[in-house]
Amino acid sequence: MMVKHTILIVEDDEPMRFLLDVLLKTDYDLIFKNDGLAGMKWLSEGNIPSVIVSDFKTPKMNGFDFFNSISQSGMFSEIPFVFITNRKEEAFKNRCLALGAKGYLQKPFDPEQLHEMLDGIFKEIEQ
């Protein structure tokens, strides 16, 4: 039996959490946290997901600050990070990708696009 990859999803919007759960739970083990601070706490407890998927706008610690914390940490900087956000500015998307994010999806997104992005990241990890 194949082991499922674990995805840490940082998202505070209940309908979006529900949608991501429906779209991804068959193929992946999902861990949901409301904000980057809760995500950092979960990581600091020794949990290492295969990928982190984060909204940009979350309470306490937004997705960009969470991404920066992950990127600058020695332990977690190798975890692929994907943004799912309402932000439409191309400059912001380019900045996130230039800083090392593996993916960027703008809400509303095509579920097929999310699956293709994750498949690509997991193929890269497994090589």
* Numbers of helices and strands, H then E, in the chain: 5, 5
Other C-beta atoms closer than 10 Å to the C-beta of 65 total 16
Can you tell me the mean pLDDT for 2-22?
93
Structure tokens, 75: 């332990």
Residue with tokens 């097929």: 112
The answer to whether 42 touches 8, Cβ cutoff 8 Å, is yes
Per-residue confidence (pLDDT) for residue 79, from 0 to 100 = 96
For the chain, how far is it from start to end, CA to CA, in angstroms? 19
Residue with tokens 């932000």: 87
pLDDT in tens, 71-95: 998 889 999 999 999 988 999 899 9
Percent with pLDDT over 70 in the chain: 98
Structure tokens, 117: 């992005």
Per-residue confidence (pLDDT) for residue 88, from 0 to 100 = 87
122 exposure class (CB count in 10 Å sphere: 0-12, 13-18, 19+): middle
Per-residue confidence (pLDDT) for residue 2, from 0 to 100 = 63
